[in-house]
Amino acid sequence: MRILPALLALLSSAAAATPTIYVYALSWTPGFCYEQNYPGCKSPLSYWETNFTIHGLWPQYIDTGYPSSCTSEPFDTSIPSQVGETTMVQYWPDVQYSVDDPQYDSFWIHEWTKHGTCTGLSQLEYFDQAIQLTQSIPTPSILVDSIGHNISAPALRSSMGGTNYVALQCKNQRLVGAYTCWNQVDGFPTAQMVCPASVLKEDTCMLSDEIIITSLTTR
């Protein structure tokens, strides 16, 4: 009876060390904030009005599924100050809370606990790598130019690598985010890649070829 826990621990350790790929999940704050009165939606940073922000960096198996909660390592509350509190809030915000709310770290805690523990990276490496990605990938100009209007869904997918490279996320055909897929080496993301079918089928912007791009100022 003691073999099973040991085996599960071994599998969790292996998953943490060698995730197959990454899903890099982005949020479109204006769409997420549509008809919401969260503190961050009412007082947004100007950056959020025209740029994707980070939802998470998630280890993903090629065929289907993903590892989760691979270790019991707790979130290091010094991480925001190590990365830079302003940097974390700008690129990886939780608009459901005001910055001075004691629960503001809860989003980062969740992402580390569920996903970061399966990367094989240190906490500082995990958060820093996700932020470096978003700093190196500009939000498509076609999206920025369409704020407050509709956009062609195929054109937006094309601007983000192509149909097989991104799964757009919509709520009632209103853009709220996007999933892209990345190769990794030793836990560090390297280059964007074709997404497996298990990720592509999560595209929720398929109701029509037009996507609504919400503006934070007119929500």
pLDDT at 209: 94
Give residue 20's pLDDT band: very low, low, confident or very high (50, 70, 90).
confident
Asked if CATH classification 3.90.730.10 holds for the domain at 36-137, the reply, yes or no, is yes
**What b/e readout covers 122-134, taking b as 16+ CB neighbours within 10 angstroms?**
ebeebbbbbbebb
Query: Mind telling me the catalytic residues?
Result: 55, 111, 115
pLDDT digits 0-9 by tens, 173-214: 999 999 999 999 999 999 999 999 999 999 999 999 999 999
pLDDT at 21: 97
pLDDT at 145 over 60: yes
pLDDT at 18 over 80: no
pLDDT at 17: 44
- Please, where in the chain does CATH 3.90.730.10 lie? 36-137
* pLDDT mean over 90-97: 97
pLDDT above 90: percentage of residues in the chain: 87
pLDDT at 81 over 90: yes
pLDDT at 13 over 90: no
The mean pLDDT of the chain is 91
Give residue 139's pLDDT band: very low, low, confident or very high (50, 70, 90).
very high
pLDDT at 49 over 90: yes
* pLDDT mean over 56-61: 96
pLDDT at 9 over 60: no
Give residue 8's pLDDT band: very low, low, confident or very high (50, 70, 90).
very low
pTM: 0.89
